[in-house]
Structure 1
Amino acid sequence: MGDSEDRHTAAARLRLLQQEFTTPAAQRDPSPRTPTNRPPAAPIDLGILDYMAASVAEVIEHTRTAAPDAGPAPAEPAAAYEWMHQNTADAAPEQRSVRDAMVFRQSLKHALAMGDETVIRREPCPRCACWSLFWRHTTRVAACVNRGCVDRCGRPSTWVLAQLAERHVAARNARSRTAT
């Protein structure tokens, strides 16, 4: 999977978050409501809105750091990834690797925010290279379930999303360098 596919996947996942998780849900229970002393709940998940705003702000901040002369950011949140790529295409290889890792990490986070944990299982464990990673909700890490893949204390190997993204981008770059 190349950086172009990662970029488009991240944008598509952010667009799906925006469409499906920030639109008001239809009333599920048509029964009459009883009055309460509480104010009504927000019709959309405000946490998802905050999450989306933080993701786009991170993309904009990275782009402005790597390319201070970049034009205005797009109004559409999902278009921020293409805008970042266009404005950082001539950046140093290290900056492009950081950019690509950030995009891949955000793509994983978008999928997890929608409840899709299978994206973690599609990545090999950085320690044992097995396809044995599972997402832990409570600690927000990917854990390897291979019994032989443990840390110095004998606990399962765990990885944060940034580590998985950095490894993913480094492996992709190594494959592209050795391709004939």
Structure 2
Amino acid sequence: MHSGDTSTPAERLRLIDKYFLAPGGGGPRAERTARATEPAAALRLDVYDHLRGSVDEATELAKSLCDGAEPYEPRPAKLEDTYRWLVEETSHLDQRRQMARDAVIYRQGLQHAILMGDADIICRHPCPDCVTWGLVWDRHREQVVCRNHHCADDDGRPTTWTLKQLAEDHIARKNHLVARAT
């Protein structure tokens, strides 16, 4: 059973697996395809690579955050349970490592949203540098760009951010607000 909330990384992962993996599914066209001399791939290889990479990264993260120790429980079979499992496996860690985990989960959620065609999710974040709401996703460079001209460098080039940097900034701001509220 799923929650119906399409804004969580887990729900996005489920939706990608269910609706975007099959040929003709939503999102951008596959870049990697079977050769023309063979039948068409039964699934979109770029989406499969994205799903596999996300789950593998979460599994490796659980191991690396726990100093190489094997997880207590095996990774769940359902993709959408991966992040819950990751949080449970690392809930005993210090705040710094939990923030690193949360940033990876948040970054993957941004990647899932962009793959699903929701690049507007980037606009919902303030720029990590100038703290204005002028961020956009540049799909050609695969970077976040701040459109505020006051945030540009000395040559007038806009400030750019990776999804990793944006996620780390988001988690740091969130944790700072929580710490101030208590």
- Structure 1: which 5+ runs fail to align? 1-7, 27-36
**Runs of 4+ more than 4 Å apart:** none
Task: Tell which deviates more after alignment, 103-112 or 66-75.
Answer: 66-75
Aligned positions of 1:83-122 closer than 5 A: 83-122=85-124
Q: Which amino acid aligns with 2:60?
A: E
Counterpart residue identity of residue 173, structure 1: N
Q: What aligned pairs does 1:13-92 form with structure 2 within 5 A after superposition?
A: 13-25=12-24, 38-67=37-66, 68-70=69-71, 71-92=73-94
**In structure 2, how many angstroms separate the alpha carbons of the residues matched to 1:66 and 1:157?**
31
Q: 1:135–1:143: 8 Å Cα contact kept in structure 2?
A: yes
Which of the numbers 156, 159, 170 marks the counterpart of 1:157? Answer: 159
Q: Percent identity?
A: 38
| Equivalent residue number for residue 133 of structure 1 | 135
Q: Residue 168 of structure 1 corresponds to which residue in structure 2?
A: 170
Q: 3-state SS of the aligned residue for 1:148?
A: helix
Q: Does 1:178 align with 2:180?
A: yes
| Conserved 8 A contact 1:134-1:144 | yes
User: 1:111 and 1:155 mapped to 2: Cα distance?
Assistant: 27
CA deviations over 1:27-84 (Å, ceiling 9, x no partner):
xxxxxxxxxx743322321110011000000000011222324221111112110001
Superposed CA RMSD: 1.6
Q: TM-score, normalised by structure 2?
A: 0.84
CA distance in 2: counterparts of 1:39 and 1:23, whole angstroms: 17
State the Cα deviation string for residues 148-171 of structure 1 (Å, max 9, x = none).
111243211111001100100000
2:145 matched to which residue of 1? Answer: 143
Structure 2 stretches of 5 or more lacking a match? 1-6, 26-35
User: How far is 1:23 from its partner?
Assistant: 3.0
Distance 1:107 1:59 in 2: 12
Residues in 2 aligned to 1:136 and 1:62: alpha-carbon distance in whole angstroms: 27
For 1:10, the equivalent position in structure 2 comes to 9
Query: Which structure has more RCO (C-alpha within 8 Å, separation ≥ 6)?
Result: 1
Amino acid at match of 2:13: L
Distance (whole Å) between structure 2 residues aligned to residue 61 and residue 153 of structure 1: 40
Aligned residues: 163
Offset of residue 24 of structure 1: 4.6
Structure with the greater alpha carbon radius of gyration = 1
Amino acid at match of 1:41: A
Could you tell me how far apart the structure 2 residues matched to 1:24 and 1:139 are? Answer: 25
Do 2:149 and 2:156's aligned partners in 1 also have CA atoms closer than 8 Å?
no
Contact 1:123-1:133 at 8 Å conserved across structures = yes
